[in-house]
Amino acid sequence: METCTCGEITIDILFSHWPFYVPKLVENCVCLLRNLSYQVHREIPQAERYQEAAPNVANNTGPHAASCFGAKKGKGKKPIEDPANDTVDFPKRTSPARGYELLFQPEVVRIYISLLKESKTPAILEASAGAIQNLCAGRWTYGRYIRSALRQEKALSAIADLLTNEHERVVKAASGALRNLAVDARNKELIGKHAIPNLVKNLPGGQQNSSWNFSEDTVISILNTINEVIAENLEAAKKLRETQGIEKLVLINKSGNRSEKEVRAAALVLQTIWGYKELRKPLEKEGWKKSDFQVNLNNASRSQSSHSYDDSTLPLIDRNQKSDKKPDREEIQMSNMGSNTKSLDNNYSTPNERGDHNRTLDRSGDLGDMEPLKGTTPLMKI
């Protein structure tokens, strides 16, 4: 990724039409930028110079005054992602950003934020959240800047609000973005306080019937986001309990009509909750037993996909046991979601893939460390 002519042209189009934009044009531009942002923290030249080690969580704990999008700053020097260190500024540039650098500049991030707050077009909302999800993936310098910038620009609530969107793909993109944003300790605190109720509402069970129709991938994404938010976050775990999250998680674990992957993801959240010793007595008083917080694969539905998955039983864990390795952040892969996926308003694809120039770009799909789409046209050099 020496240069990014395609991205430069796309960003120029966005800026030249902003804020008076044509929705379909912006939709295509943002989808393309979302695609170009996939694994950007690994693909840019000399990517290793931007890599950062995970912060020591043990040094970042403690009570902090919380507001929706601000924090009371403490005195003295703070660690990089200390919950009270609420301001992280992008580095000053001595020359204009060019090529791939444009993908993660603050001006472009602010466009995503504006679209999340103002657009009503599902595809634009999905692509904007997906671009943020990709940019915030991984432990790298600009990912940290962007996580902080989104908090400072009061975009966390805009993304959390997308969890109530009627379109599943928007909900999934918002969930993935929130998971990666929660890497920032301050973001984790705020997301736990304000987004947990809507995340729980989107889980199958209870009075919300629409969530029963969510795909396996969407349910797993929501469960993984919940687990990321409540890890090392006792207040978020309490909020989950207060919003009847335990009931829904146990139902997924024991009902027998959810896939094995969903059962495992739900069990991991339950184990994280049980790991908080402070919650065990209150949970036991409510009638919950230790066995309710263990993985139960015997009742998992066998109508799941044929993809391989680890067979091992997940042991109960304690919050005092630290893992030296954390999973990489989720990214939206540059692959088609498949012909069985229902569209928002259209069935998205790149114009060249199906010969239809009236359709929009779509590269959202499976999450995680999957390879980017093979055989795509390489970026032109300038």
Task: Determine the pLDDT at residue 20.
Answer: 52
Residue 44 in tokens: 């840019």
| One domain for residues 94 and 202 | no
Could you tell me if residue 277 is inside a domain? yes
| One domain for residues 341 and 364 | yes
Domain boundary among 318, 342, 360: 318
**Higher-scoring residue by pLDDT: 314, 12:** 12
| One domain for residues 202 and 144 | no
| One domain for residues 345 and 360 | yes
Could you tell me if residue 2 is inside a domain? yes
Task: Determine the pLDDT at residue 134.
Answer: 94
Which residue in 14, 32, 222, 225 sits closest to 131, CA to CA? 32
Could you tell me if residue 166 is inside a domain? yes
| One domain for residues 67 and 162 | yes
CA–CA distance, 59 with 53 (Å, rounded to integer)? 14
What average pLDDT does range 92-114 have in this prediction? Answer: 80
Domain that holds residue 277: 195-231+233-318
Average pLDDT, rounded, for the chain: 72
CA–CA distance, 161 with 157 (Å, rounded to integer)? 6
Q: Which of 21-30, 64-73, 116-125 has the lowest mean pLDDT?
A: 64-73
Q: What is the pLDDT of residues 279-312, one digit of tens each?
A: 999 999 999 999 899 876 665 554 443 333 232 2
| One domain for residues 377 and 254 | no
The SS3 call for residue 59 is helix
| One domain for residues 207 and 182 | no
Count CB neighbours of 291 within 10 A. 9
Claim: this prediction has a pTM higher than 0.85: no
- The DSSP annotation for 207-247 comes to T--GGGGS-HHHHHHHHHHHHHHHTT-HHHHHHHHHTTHHH
Task: Determine the pLDDT at residue 51.
Answer: 78
What average pLDDT does range 240-258 have in this prediction? Answer: 91
Res. 218: pLDDT tops 50:
yes
Domain count, the chain: 2
CA–CA distance, 117 with 97 (Å, rounded to integer)? 26
Domain boundary among 270, 293, 318: 318
CA–CA distance, 334 with 360 (Å, rounded to integer)? 14
Contacts of 92 (CB under 8 A, 6+ apart): none
Instruction: Answer yes or no: are the C-beta atoms of 83 and 186 closer than 8 Å.
Output: yes
Could you tell me if residue 326 is inside a domain? no
Could you tell me if residue 323 is inside a domain? no
What average pLDDT does range 124-143 have in this prediction? Answer: 92
The SS3 call for residue 356 is coil
Q: What is the pLDDT of residues 121-132, one digit of tens each?
A: 999 999 999 999
> Cα dihedral sign for 164, 359, 176, 17?
negative
| One domain for residues 200 and 173 | no
Backbone angle region of 206, left / alpha / beta, with phi > 0 → left and psi within -120 to 50 → alpha: left
Residue 254 in tokens: 């024991």
Task: Determine the pLDDT at residue 100.
Answer: 76
| One domain for residues 128 and 261 | no
CA–CA distance, 74 with 210 (Å, rounded to integer)? 44
Task: Determine the pLDDT at residue 382.
Answer: 31
**Higher-scoring residue by pLDDT: 3, 148:** 148
Instruction: Answer yes or no: are the C-beta atoms of 127 and 26 closer than 8 Å.
Output: no
Helical ranges in the chain per DSSP H:
5-17, 23-36, 40-43, 106-118, 122-135, 141-152, 156-161, 168-181, 185-194, 196-201, 216-230, 234-242, 245-254, 260-274, 277-285, 351-354
Could you tell me if residue 133 is inside a domain? yes
Could you tell me if residue 72 is inside a domain? yes
Which residue in 120, 130, 32 sits closest to 345, CA to CA? 120
Could you tell me if residue 325 is inside a domain? no
| One domain for residues 23 and 61 | yes
Res. 178: pLDDT tops 60:
yes
> Cα dihedral sign for 131, 134, 137, 140?
negative
Please provide residue 294's backbone torsions phi and psi, each rounded to the nearest 5 degrees.
Answer: -110, 155
| One domain for residues 237 and 300 | yes
| One domain for residues 39 and 125 | yes
